[in-house]
Structure formats: structure tokens, C-alpha cells
Structure 1
């Protein structure tokens, strides 16, 4: 007897719930570390990381929605939501660069601040990879394996460029709407005069390669784990 569409979706929903619970526990650890630091020091030094984690969760939320309803959404819905996803996606791996804020501060052990920032950076990276896995699956389902990995690679390289724009030029995702002319000028300037902006392409390529290798490793580890079960 053939399985109904609902029964076919149950394993996927169960896996999604398990992933959300695990990511939720990891995010809770970051929130607790930040909260304890604020409580004991009466300082808001790393509270901005809560906002960064919220921004990192947006692409995961969007990809989860798309992944669970992919068979019922048409291209005219997938495309604009996918563009919004791509716009916010760099916010997730961006948290890796918050390690720049690590320094010795009076009243707080250095190892505590290191654990706090690493926890947030880890969550940003895992949210990015989980979200990208969803989006890659959507592309693969429609266009094939090569297109899926091509999409994932380009998305990670673009996110690295977005990391540069955010960390060094201080742009945000919403500047596409609130400050489009300045954002457009700075991007075009770097595209037309790459040798005048070597730092831009150094950050983009180095972080891009790092993120691609990390993503491929995580995907391969997951596949090996499934084969050994």
C-alpha cells in the first residue's frame, strides 16, 4: 500500500524538530553565557551578540519554511523568498568575525569570554550550514546535483563578500532598502577596480574557501554517519 504524502513527511518533520531542539539548546547556552556576564559585571559588553544571533536565525527560519513546504510552493513564491534568504544569509557566518572583540577585560576570566564568543560563532556557523543544506536540497531537487553544489558554493562566496561589507564597511542587510545607492557604489567600485581593493577580495576568497571546505566536511560527515547506521 503506497504511503500518503503526510506519512512521507513525518521522518522529515521529526528530523527537523530534533535539529531545532539541538540548535535551541546551543543557542540557549550562548544566551545564558551572555546573561551571566551581564549579571555579574553589570556591563552590556557582549549584548550585541544577541542581536547577531537573531539575525543569524532568520535565514534558518526562512529555509525551514521553504524546505517543509517545497512541494506546495510555486516558483513565483520560492524566488522572492529565496532572494530574501540570500540577503540575510551572510549574517549567520558573520558572527565568526566577532572573535575580533576578544580581549582581556578586568573582572571576567579570559577563558569565559573566549567560550562566550566561540559559542555564538559556532551557532552562527551551524545555523548557516543547516540553512544552506535546506536551500541546496531545493535547488538539487529541481536542477540536479551539480547545480545544487554550484548554488551552495556561490552562496558561501557571496556570504563572504557580505561579511566584508558588514565587518569593514559597516553595511547591514537592510541597507539594500535604506541605503541602496551607497551600497551599490561601494560594490561596483570593488568590482571595477579589484586591485585597488585587495583586502576586499582577500577576505572574500579566504573566508569563502574556509566556509566551503567546512560545509563540505559537515555534509560528508553526515553522510558517513548515515551509512554506518
Structure 2
């Protein structure tokens, strides 16, 4: 019994060590747009070229926050690896839940900050349209990241590939269905 418990704990630690790398990285990427949203939309500043550059970087990185919702696919593999109901229930699911929720909350708070900014500048009527457009753009970004393996910085490092392959790929029936479902999930959870 003791040897089995030690072996199980070793497996859990191994799985968590592997996951902590990508979980930490994905959370870091999710918090970039959150930090930018505070700087861009909560602090009163003029819209200089630096502001517009920050705005573009904000929208390039924003899909990373809700992208964490798709990381639930890794949970399935981890459940197969660990196979202990107690370790899955007490360790894996809470860790995944916290990481996924932290990423999605970064997304929600970022959108709240954009809405605050629009309200502050007298454009409250645009908030719903901004949110719907942002959900749609993020659904496309999530598809590009999860299925085409593009990253936010590919807008700078390989813009041709991002635009040609990215646009070509999303015009198919299956990608449009996946993007539509992702859009619906973002709208529903937001």
C-alpha cells in the first residue's frame, strides 16, 4: 500500500512538473493583455503612436487568455496517466480549474477595461459591438493557435504565413464550425 501510494504521488508530481511549464507560459501570455488593458484603458492618456502600438499588441495577445479554455484537452491525457480518482479529484482538476479560470478572468477583466474606456470617452453604445467583435476575433485567434499552431508574435515574425495560411484555413467548413462554437462559448461564458 505504501509503495503504491509513493508511486502514485511520484506520477502526480511528474505530471504536474510537465504541466507547470506550459501552464505558467500560457498564464503569462494571458496576463499580457490584462496588463495592457489596465495601461491602455484605465489610465488617462492620449492616443499617441505608443498607445496605438499597445492597442495592437493588446489585440494580438488577447486570444491567449480564453485560449486556456482549450487546455482542458491536456486533462484527459493526465487522467489516463494518473488513473487515481482521489488524485484526479484533489490535485489535477483543481489545478486545471484554477489555471483555466485565471486565464478566462484575465479575458473578462480585459474586456471590462475596454468597456470602461469606451464609456469614459462617451462611446457606451459601442460596448456590445466591441465585445461581439472581440469574441469573434478571439475565436479565430484560438483556432489559429490550437489547430494551426500560430502564436501572437507571428503577426510580426511571419505575417505572410499568418495571413495566407490563416485566412485560407478558416474558410473551410470544419474551421468555421469550430470558430462558431468557440464564439458561442466565449459569448456564453462572458
Deviations 1:41-93 (A, max 9, x none): 245321210100000000000011123323x2235443221111000000000
1:41-120 map, 5 Å: 41-43=13-15, 44-47=17-20, 48-70=22-44, 72-103=45-76, 104=79, 105-106=81-82, 109-111=87-89, 112-120=91-99
TM superposition shift of 1:38: 8.6
Moved more, 44-53 or 122-131: 44-53
Deviations 1:162-185 (A, max 9, x none): 000000111100111112221111
| 1:56-205 equivalences in 2 (<5 Å) | 56-70=30-44, 72-103=45-76, 104=79, 105-106=81-82, 109-111=87-89, 112-142=91-121, 144-190=123-169, 194=171, 197-205=172-180
Kindly tell me: are residues 180 and 187 of structure 1, through their superposed partners in 2, closer, same or farther at Cα, counting changes over 3 Å? same
Contact kept? 1:132, 1:152, Cα under 8 Å: yes
1:141 deviates by 3.1
Q: Which runs of 5+ in 1 are unaligned?
A: 1-36, 216-229
What are the ranges of 5 or more consecutive residues in structure 2 without an aligned counterpart? 1-8
User: Normalising by structure 1, what TM-score?
Assistant: 0.69
TM-score (norm 2): 0.82
Question: Counterpart of 1:170 in 2: which secondary structure?
Answer: coil
Shift of 1:121: 0.6
